Amino acid sequence: MWELKIAEGDGPYLFSTNNFVGRQFWEFNPNAGTTKEKEEIEKIQQNFKDNRKNGGQHACGDLLMRMQENQIDLMDIAPIRLTDDEQVTFEAATTAVKKGVRLNRAIQAKDGHWPAESAGPLFFTPPLLIVLYISGTINTILNEEHHKEMIRYFYNHQNEDGGWGFFIEGKSTMIGSTLVYVALRILGEGKNGGDGAMDRGRKWILDHGGATSIPSWGKLYLSVLGVYDWEGCNPLPPEFWIIPSTFPFHPAEMWCYCRTTYMPMSYLYGKRVQGPITPLVSSLRKEIYPTAFEHINWNKQRNNCCKEDLYYPHSFLQDVLWHTLHYITEPILKYWPFSKLRGKSLDRVVELMRYESEETRYMTIGCIEKSLQMMCWWAENPNGDEFKYHLARVPDYLWVAEDGMTMHSFGSQVWDCVFTTQAIIASNMTEEYADCLNKAHFYLKESQIKQNPSRDFTRMYRHITKGAWAFSDQDHGWAVSDCTAEALMCLLLLSNMPKEIVGEKVDNARLYEAVNFLLYLQSPISGGFAVWEPPIPKPFLQLLNPSEMFADIVVEKEYGYWGICFLYGTFFALRALSASGKTYDNNEAVCKGVKFLLSKQNEEGGWGESHLSCSTKVYTPLDGNRTNLVQTSWAMLGLMFCGQVERDITPLDKAAKLLINAQMDNGDFPQQEITGAWMRNCTLHFAQYRSIFPLWALGEYRKRGCEPN
């Protein structure tokens, strides 16, 4: 049985800044679990599979984790069910809130955070499998049970047309279909395996022109594996990393995610890294192309992108740049003395990658960069310590649930902790659940970053981090403004409570350090706050976006990131405006935000917004204008923070009744559509959201809108 390990780490290639507080990884123990527990796991796995076949939810409910972490009886408080004629009472709200708090207490990890999946894109796992395969470590790092659960995940998320999407709720795309098909073959599935699933997947690929039309990221991954030719990739010259920093298009000016992705990509391109041509690779060359591999005109494929994948077409200027680099620059760099530049450039990229690896304890900024860096370090030295350090951190990225095993974007430990903590505080049941808050308080104090990056970090294009929080844990090291703001909010709220309940307060100096970090990220132009690094007012850099799948990745943009989409943004905006003293009566923005939310409430009293809002930039309700409980909670919170209870409580009464009746017997709420978003064209599944925001909304409603009898 799979066991979730918390705050553990051992071995010569693992190290931590805080004794692995926040670390979470799954380990298979063949001797663990009773017969009843194993039967229950098989049951929920089959239920998910059957539900997906019948058009049910795509996202997992994280049920394996919840089965393991829950050690208390959650059924001893009877659930509340209100009839059409009944109103929400203080007592009904209290029962619902108490059940929700008890559920969160039950699934809290021993170090104080709330473990949960944060995944969803289907292109995350295949690059990891590619690097493990070409390096010959796949059966060392992954055992038979890993293989089985990854295969389960991929088959569970295959679309009816045979293809796979960019993300688990998305339509089939070439990058999703090709990478998942290749991943399944690497995992040992035959080309006719999966009861016809592989045949259907391959048919989708071939019916849509074959893998030559995979987007640029996919072209690079397949080139490293050896089933695509580097001649069919647009140039990613590593020489960009040694141009003068005054150059207007210098990589240091790019958004950190873009920079840390294309850094290892430029190494792979610069060295034309390719794994061994094995029988599997030779077979894949025949399976995913309608034309013989050796007869493909690879040069013509450089800008070939499947229409199902194309979201951000290249500009004319960018096409000119690619052609110039391909036909002029690259040929020149093959000859002395210009060839010296390639070696010098690669040395600089290696220096930057080594710094990034060390500063993140070999986790890197995220899963995409993790796999890319592993490819680079294997190519640099397959027996080197860097590659071994990276291998040791692979388990940190793997998550197993009832739908199978996938790769995290990166952990959401801090992010989930700060919101769960605020939801519990809003319940006004802090004394009853003091142990829960005490543990969360400990986790947040331990997870604050205590120092800036080492050495001359500005030369490595890094910024201050002291006093901040990362998205996951302290070891990750990449400081995030909104995680810092929410963690600071938690520490301030907890500082007002007796230490006998929540533990010792944090030193004021550390609070000031957090404020200093936030002010460092504030834009002097807009007044807003960037996520990771000070904003760079150079929108023209977006012209360099080489990705066909994502928009706005070169310079940080706020639209279509992190949550879906208008409801998410309006909730946070109204919360912030309320905190700054703005009200419905004295501020036009608050008034417009409230009216917007009220206009989107559906007939049953809830709210539900499609991920299409992110990509189209137009508010799009869910099909049938159905309700999503997390988004309903966002809308409720935004309205309550801006005084809706005093103006007209009726919309909130309807929404609260909806949440209470939707609550499950154990105090949790059903998993519905994914509500996280990323780069405008992709979704992220935050599995803990359904346990946080409905509880928070009901807690605030109970405080503000219900009178005890």
Phi, psi angle pair for 533, to nearest 5°? -135, 160
Q: What is the pLDDT of residues 365-419, one digit of tens each?
A: 999 999 999 999 999 999 999 999 999 999 999 999 999 999 999 899 999 999 9
Q: What is the pLDDT of residues 630-675, one digit of tens each?
A: 999 999 999 999 999 999 999 999 999 999 999 999 999 999 999 9
Least reliable range by pLDDT among 14-28, 239-253, 399-413, 606-620:
239-253
What is the pLDDT at residue 71?
Answer: 66
DSSP 8-state class, residue 675: -
Least reliable range by pLDDT among 18-27, 155-164, 559-568, 655-664:
559-568
Q: How far is CA 321 from CA 137, 393, 631, in A?
A: 38, 37, 43
Residue 74 has pLDDT above 80, yes or no: no
Q: What is the pLDDT of residues 297-329, one digit of tens each?
A: 999 999 999 999 999 898 888 889 889 999 999
Average pLDDT, the chain: 95
What is the pLDDT at residue 532?
Answer: 93
Among residues of the chain, what percentage have pLDDT more than 90? 86
Burial of 228-267, coded b for 16+ CB within 10 Å and e otherwise, reads: bbbebbbbbbbbbbeeeeeeeebbbbbbbbbbbbbbbbbb
Residue 16 corresponds to which tokens in the numbers above? 């931590």
Whether the Cβ atoms of residue 18 and residue 475 lie closer than 8 Å to each other = yes
Phi, psi angle pair for 403, to nearest 5°? -90, 0
Domain spanning 120-406, CATH class: mainly alpha
DSSP 8-state class, residue 110: T
SS3 for 621?
Answer: strand
Q: Give strand pairing partners of 401.
A: 404
Residue 53 has pLDDT above 80, yes or no: yes
DSSP 8-state class, residue 522: B
What is the pLDDT at residue 525?
Answer: 86
How do 172-173 and 398-401 pair as beta strands?
Answer: unpaired
What is the pLDDT at residue 316?
Answer: 84
Count other C-beta atoms under 10 Å from residue 104's C-beta: 23
Q: Give strand pairing partners of 684.
A: 676
Mean pLDDT, residues 264-271 taken together: 98
What is the pLDDT at residue 295?
Answer: 97
Q: What is the pLDDT of residues 483-512, one digit of tens each?
A: 999 999 999 999 999 999 999 999 999 999
Residue 341 has pLDDT above 90, yes or no: yes
CA–CA separation, 423 and 699 (whole Å): 7
Domain spans in the chain, listed from the N-terminal domain onward: 120-406
Reduce the secondary structure of 289-314 to three states and give it as a string: CCCCHHHCCHHHHCCCCCCCCCCCCC
Among residues of the chain, what percentage have pLDDT more than 70? 99
Cβ-based burial of 504 (10 A; exposed 0-12, middle 13-18, buried ≥19):
exposed
The pTM (predicted TM-score) of the whole model is 0.96
CA–CA separation, 623 and 431 (whole Å): 42
What is the pLDDT at residue 709?
Answer: 65
What is the pLDDT at residue 75?
Answer: 72
Whether the Cβ atoms of residue 280 and residue 230 lie closer than 8 Å to each other = no
Is 545 or 92 the better-scoring residue by pLDDT?
A: 92
Residue 538 has pLDDT above 80, yes or no: no
Give the residue among 316, 252, 115, 166 at the shortest CA–CA distance from 679. Answer: 166
Annotated active-site residue in 161, 199, 482, 653: 482
Q: How long, in residues, is the chain?
A: 709
What is the pLDDT at residue 707?
Answer: 75
SS3 for 211?
Answer: helix
CA–CA separation, 466 and 463 (whole Å): 10
CA–CA separation, 122 and 681 (whole Å): 13
What is the pLDDT at residue 537?
Answer: 73
Q: Any catalytic annotation for residue 482? A: yes
Q: Which residues contact 158 (CB under 8 A, 6 or more apart)?
A: 164, 180, 197, 200, 201
What is the pLDDT at residue 591?
Answer: 98
Residue 708 has pLDDT above 80, yes or no: no
SS3 for 218?
Answer: helix
CA–CA separation, 535 and 701 (whole Å): 37
